[in-house]
Structure 1
């Protein structure tokens, strides 16, 4: 039985535990959605397109017709520019997706409430890097070559 003077603390602890359990339940879904995030950016009047994953790693680089009108230096600079733009886009998408978890982390720290609740924080998994393969290739389990990537040639 809880003493009357401890009811408020017990209620706060129960609310925190419920919030953590709920967050752990949502974490798997959010991680799956995060791993599927990609973003693309196109530069040089549509001649260079770079697609990146949630970690900002390049998944695909495509060069369209007319690329031969650019020098190697221009192609290199534009490819980096497209990759940076795509990485910035995917970071914005990831921040929107992760906002609910970020808000949860801003709440009271379990260590501040009691030692028993600090153990719950240890159960939260560390964020993992997103896979380097595109979601379509992860689902199919095979890589298809469409001949548009420079590495396919």
Structure 2
């Protein structure tokens, strides 16, 4: 039996559990919709079309009439360009689909606010960095923000083993 002074807290807790159950159901539906996302990009005047899935992985590549007018190098570069364009488009679609959940998450209290040790641990985690879209041989030297060491263009050797 709930004591009278705790009835409001119990009702609030029950409402929170119901809200969480509904949100989890909506998240499952959104995940299914996200997994079904695709995007396509067409380049070279309609001669090359690339379709990617929600992960940005190529699921279909189509070459149409007139492709023989392009060199192998042009076809390769255009296919990569189309895949990158389609991957960027599917990323935007995912962000739009998941935006309501990002807003919901932003309004939720953070555990770090209640436990300062978690904030300190989170600060020690490495940040996620997107892999560059350029080939290693075309990259300029830069500093890896996760580790602070110089990242040099690929010279044919192995960066760690050749030291």
TM range (shorter): 0.5 to 0.7
RMSD: 2.6
Residue 51 (1) aligns with residue 51 (2) = yes
The whole-number CA distance in structure 2 between the counterparts of 1:113 and 1:74 is: 53
SS, match of residue 109 in structure 1: coil
Bigger fraction of residues in helix: 1
What is aligned with 1:119? Answer: none
Over 3 Å counting, the alpha-carbon distance change for 1:84 and 1:93 in structure 2 is same
> 1:50 Cα deviation (Å)?
0.1
What is aligned with 2:31? Answer: 31
The whole-number CA distance in structure 1 between the counterparts of 2:14 and 2:111 is: 15
Aligned residues: 113
The whole-number CA distance in structure 2 between the counterparts of 1:74 and 1:112 is: 51
The whole-number CA distance in structure 1 between the counterparts of 2:29 and 2:4 is: 36
What is aligned with 2:5? Answer: 3
Compare relative contact order (CA 8 Å, sep 6+) and give the higher one, 1 or 2.
1
What is aligned with 2:159? Answer: none
The answer for unaligned runs of 5 or more in structure 1 is 115-153
The answer for unaligned runs of 5 or more in structure 2 is 115-163
Larger radius of gyration: 2
Over 3 Å counting, the alpha-carbon distance change for 1:47 and 1:86 in structure 2 is same
The whole-number CA distance in structure 2 between the counterparts of 1:109 and 1:17 is: 15
> 1:99 Cα deviation (Å)?
1.2
